[in-house]
Amino acid sequence: MDVTTVPEWRDGEVTMVDLDLDVVRMPDGRIFVDDEDEFTEHQVVLGYPAEVVAQAESAARWLVDAVGERKGPFGGAHLEWLAMVI
């Protein structure tokens, strides 16, 4: 699951910024946050504001816990899709 900025509607389109962090659950059940190195690099290169960094880190922690408890952020709608690939 990608960690992004909060999606916003603008001119009939949804926009958001992918903040690099991805929460991954492997077929064997391991869960981890991927691309932390990119996130750290982009904080400097792209100038992520401190508030955005804190929110992204908090969201990643929440997602790790939610995925571990099999309580994904989509109210269960994701389960059918995950079943197709897991």
Q: Distance between CA 23 and CA 25 in Å, rounded?
A: 7
Give the whole-number percent of the chain exceeding pLDDT 90: 63
Domain count, the chain: 1
Domain with residue 31: its CATH number is: 2.40.380.10
Q: How confident is the model at residue 38 (pLDDT cuts 50, 70, 90)?
A: very high
Range of the domain at 54: 2-85
* pLDDT recorded at residue 78: 66
3 pLDDT exceeds 80? yes
Q: 8 vs 41, which has greater pLDDT?
A: 41
How deeply is 28 buried, as exposed, middle or buried, from its count of CB atoms within 10 A (0-12, 13-18, 19+)? exposed
Tell me the whole-structure pTM to 2 decimals: 0.77
Q: Distance between CA 71 and CA 80 in Å, rounded?
A: 13
Q: How confident is the model at residue 81 (pLDDT cuts 50, 70, 90)?
A: low
